[in-house]
């Protein structure tokens, strides 16, 4: 928690309204290592990475902090067929509770390992979405904002439903060019050709 970011709000400042901007360099940094981002081969600081704005009302109730509002933005990822950039729009309503870590239902608590650092790679379930831990003094909104970008990426992003993808042999973009490569014969199909179907 020592890291200082513009996305932290002190509990003693609540209730408050915050408009938080996420610039492209932040988006690039947060999504580093995501295959659909890395596939673009974009530079380290990518002005086209995307951006976002969170408009949040924050208030405290006892030991809990609530945030509600909206998140709007854009994110550029690679098309899963042709690797060209695809711009995804983000327009989400946010309603989140921040709870002291010890109050969080922790189903990994039994294994005794410290899994705090693993959270970033953990699969996010629907229930986890609405609750984030905080230390009781300051709320860190960065994980919440970062998650909006991560969740915006579909399993297989497409530049268009009709994207023809890349030729598997020569790698040409079949949306903009054509080649004369013959499709390889699937060895399983080749084997089937020799089969006689009993009548
Ligand atoms: Zn495509
Ligand atoms: Zn080809």
164 CA distance to ligand 1 middle (Å): 7
Can you give the pLDDT of all 199 residues of the chain as single tens digits? 446 678 999 999 999 999 999 999 999 999 999 999 999 999 889 999 999 999 999 999 888 999 999 999 999 999 999 999 999 999 999 999 999 988 877 655 444 444 444 444 445 444 545 899 999 899 999 999 999 999 999 999 999 999 999 999 999 999 999 999 987 777 777 776 666 666 6
CB 146 within 8 A of CB 94: no
Distance, C-alpha 14 to centroid of its chain = 29
Cα separation of 102 and 80, whole Å? 40
Task: Please name the residues in contact with 138: beta carbons below 8 A apart, sequence gap of 6 or more.
Answer: 1, 8, 9, 10, 11
Token pair 């042999």: residue:
169
User: How remote is the CA of residue 177 from the centroid of ligand 2, in Å?
Assistant: 9
Quote the ligand 2 centre to 170 CA distance (angstroms): 4
pLDDT recorded at residue 199: 61
**166 Cβ contact list (under 8 Å, min separation 6):** 81, 82, 83, 172, 173, 174
- CA 139 / ligand 2 centre spacing (Å): 53
Which pLDDT value is given to residue 107? 57
- pTM for the predicted model, two decimal places: 0.78
CA of 177 to the centre of ligand 1 (A): 13
Q: For residues 109 and 126, give the distance between their C-alpha atoms in angstroms, rounded to a whole number.
A: 19
The pLDDT value given to residue 187: 75
What is the reported pLDDT for 4? 67
Tell me what pLDDT residue 134 has. Answer: 92
Does residue 159 come out as left (phi exceeding 0), alpha (psi in the -120 to 50 range) or beta?
Answer: alpha
pLDDT number for residue 189: 73
| Predicted local distance difference test score (pLDDT) of residue 106 | 62
Q: In the prediction, which pLDDT does 129 show?
A: 54
């Amino acid at each position: 928690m020592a890291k200082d970011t513009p996305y932290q709000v002190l509990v003693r400042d609540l209730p408050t309204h915050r408009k938080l901007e996420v610039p492209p360099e932040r988006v690039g940094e947060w999504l580093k290592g995501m295959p659909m981002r890395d596939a673009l081969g974009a530079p380290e600081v990518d002005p086209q990475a995307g951006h976002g704005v969170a408009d949040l009302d924050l208030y405290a109730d006892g030991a809990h902090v609530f945030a509600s509002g909206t998140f709007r933005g854009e994110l550029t990822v690679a098309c899963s067929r042709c690797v060209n950039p695809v711009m995804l729009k983000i327009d989400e309503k946010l309603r989140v509770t921040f709870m002291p870590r010890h109050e969080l239902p922790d189903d990994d608590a039994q294994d005794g390992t410290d899994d705090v650092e693993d959270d970033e790679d953990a699969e996010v379930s629907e229930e986890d979405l609405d609750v984030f831990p905080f230390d009781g003094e300051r709320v860190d909104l960065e994980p919440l904002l970062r998650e909006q970008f991560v969740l915006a990426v579909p399993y297989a992003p497409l530049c268009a439903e009709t994207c023809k993808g890349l030729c598997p042999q020569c790698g040409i973009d079949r949306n903009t060019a054509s080649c004369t490569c013959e499709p390889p014969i699937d060895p399983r199909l080749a084997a089937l050709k020799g089969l006689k179907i009993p009548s």
